[in-house]
Amino acid sequence: MVVPLRSFDDAKSRLAGVLDPDVRAALARAMAERVLAAAGPWPVRVVTDDPEVATWAARRDVEVVAGGAGLDHSVTTAVSRLAAAGVRRVVVAHADLPRARTLAPFAGPGLVIAPDRHADGSNVVAVPTDADFRFAYGPGSYARHLAEARRLGLAVTIVDDPDLAWDVDHPDDLAGLPPDLAPLVRAR
């Protein structure tokens, strides 16, 4: 499994109007912990260029893969490295999924994808490493990833899981934090 994670210090900058930097960093760490736990027995690689995130991952016995210029490039690089190491399937899960419990549904063939609750973003994507899948994150990524699967002739499975659909990008997303993470936000 690949978890792209840019930084804790700069995490969730779109929440700057409602949360101070220390609270945003604590929330980002807590959500990332939740995603790592949801991986279960799967080996996890954190993709980052941030030394603090790399140290955090190493303390959890998680391999760190150097990121690069942008999310798409970083994920593609990590997937290529895993393919070269003999990994046949990869799950890419974003670190801002506060309600993630399990990523087990992503073991299926072809593209397995969990969109955000707006059916706009791609919160979790699983693909065969040899598919030459072109990742295209950002607004509208869900539609682009479905189109890429069609281009490649991959079977598509959509995981309709309200917990995996809930990511934290905007202030109103904080209302969906689970009870154990909500106190982090109230501590501001």
Residue 186 has pLDDT above 90, yes or no: no
Residue 156 has pLDDT above 60, yes or no: yes
Per the structure, the complete domain to which residue 101 belongs is given by 2-186
CA dist., res. 98 & res. 28, Å (int): 9
Mean pLDDT across the chain = 93
Q: How many domains does the chain have?
A: 1
In this structure, the strands spanning 111-115 and 63-66 are unpaired
pLDDT band for position 109 (cuts 50, 70, 90): very high
**Looking at beta carbons, which pairs linking 59-67 to residues 24 or more positions away fall under 8 Å?**
60/36, 62/36, 65/2, 67/4, 67/6
Query: What mean pLDDT comes out for the span 43-61?
Result: 94
pLDDT of residue 187: 53
CA dist., res. 62 & res. 76, Å (int): 19
pLDDT in tens, 116-130: 999 999 999 999 999
CATH number, domain of 68, equals 3.90.550.10
Asked which of 9-18, 87-96, 173-182 is least confident by mean pLDDT, the reply is 9-18
pLDDT of residue 9: 81
pLDDT of residue 188: 47
Question: In a 10 Å sphere around its CB, with 0-12 CB exposed, 13-18 middle and 19+ buried, how is residue 148 labelled?
Answer: buried
Percent of the chain with pLDDT over 70: 99
- Tokens 């700057």 locate to 16
Residue pair 62/21 in contact (Cβ under 8 Å)? The answer is no
